[in-house]
Structure 1
Amino acid sequence: MRSIWTGSISFGLINIPIKLYSAVEESSLDMDMLDKKDHSNIKFKRVNENTGKEVSFANIVKGYKVDDTYVVLEDADFEAADAVKTKTIDILNFAQEKEIDSIYYEQPYYLEPDKGAANAYALLRDALQASKKVAVTSFVMRNKEGLAILKPYKNVIVLNRIRWEQEIRETSELKLPPVSKTKAKEMDMANKLVEQLTEKFDISQYKDEYTDNLLKIIRDKAKGKKAAKPKLKVVHNQTDDLMSMLKASLETKKKKTS
């Protein structure tokens, strides 16, 4: 793996130099865009709006429009916004992980101790493990301030980027049913179904079957084979009798397990 950012964790008076790596990789297939006529690759160019000429990446700058005029920003301007944070993951406080709703989670990264930081790194990791808490942090990466939590995963500290509160949309515009309308008998039956389907979570049980199936179709097409059309079970009507559907669901599960 190649590190994508270097800096340090600020933990009280302790400074822990680290390297940051992406913790995930896409399982989807990397598709190219082609011309339908001759299957030539489609290329995208960065073009000057006025001249129509291509602009090299080295000659592209960032700007913010103020009163119909662009103010061009340089790396020094971004650093000046908060120079201290540009290379530091500041631990702001510690919290219970269950207090952070899953809607805030965005992107996980692995943190690796840099030279001479192994002991301090292990101390923070083990303290998080023992306290069963997460560290709430702020940092700047790619000229953007971020909020994140630090938590132990196996023997590594994971930095999980989380969204700011203002990035979460309100639900007031959604048409949602009131909470207290569910009948007691239906709720009891729903709880039984939930309990019947409850099992210990094991991520290894779940596979990206769609990508595997798509790759098989691609390989078959390369050999001249046509993909068979899948048979889809379409439900045309939805009954309002929740109790009968819940009972049927429970019976179906019982038959599968017997």
Structure 2
Amino acid sequence: MAKLYVVGIGPGGLCHITQRAREVIENCKVVVGYTFYIELIKDLITGKEVIKTGMRGEIERCKMAIDKVRDGFDTCIISTGDAGLYGMAGPIYEMGEDIEVEVVPGITAAFSAASELGAPVMHDFCTISLSDLMTPWEVIEKRIKCAAEGDFIIAIYNPKSKGRVDHINKAVDIILKHRDGKTPVGLVKNSGRDGNEKVVTTLDSIDFDFIDMMTVVLIGNSNSYIKNNFIVTPRGYKL
């Protein structure tokens, strides 16, 4: 019986893809994904049937992947990072009741970015997406406020797009009501793949022009500090 694999390919570079993810992609007959993500794994999919769609084609991709499994083909549908974090795992489980599904985890953009910034995520943290396509902005604002009040390290996904230019500015304004302006912040663009750039700064000195859709914003907690252009969040060990 054919099977559908929901695969997280990591941040984008093949060096960060897990061995299990690589094996699944290489063994499947059909690969489904967003056009940009397919390009990131092009060296692994030669000779396969490749189905790709553009931005906002998530449900269409899920339906096509499920249909291919029903037709008897082992199929993988890919997400960057981890497929269970803002990825395809959720809609596949909601839609594919009659097929066998396996989720293959991947390295998230938050953890990839954190590795480039030093050790910013050494304590309790949360991820918040600023995309309001499916989540009302009022809900996102509430989550930002609660995370800031709770002194969580905050990883912000989807901080900016052509239609959401100032959401990240609004988010930072909310956080500044509960967090010192000198709180360390890391901006990592294209984490784990070509075009990678990083900036270590503080909450009151963020260069918003640097930030785009491919940027992860990592905001430290009240104990985080900057050392040699890296961010460190103490876990509490007695050193």
Place the TM-score, normalised by the shorter chain, in its bin. Answer: under 0.3
TM-score, with structure 1 as normaliser: 0.23
Q: Determine which structure has more spread, i.e. the larger CA radius of gyration.
A: 1
Q: Which has the higher contact order (CA 8 A, sep 6+)?
A: 2
TM-score, with structure 2 as normaliser: 0.24
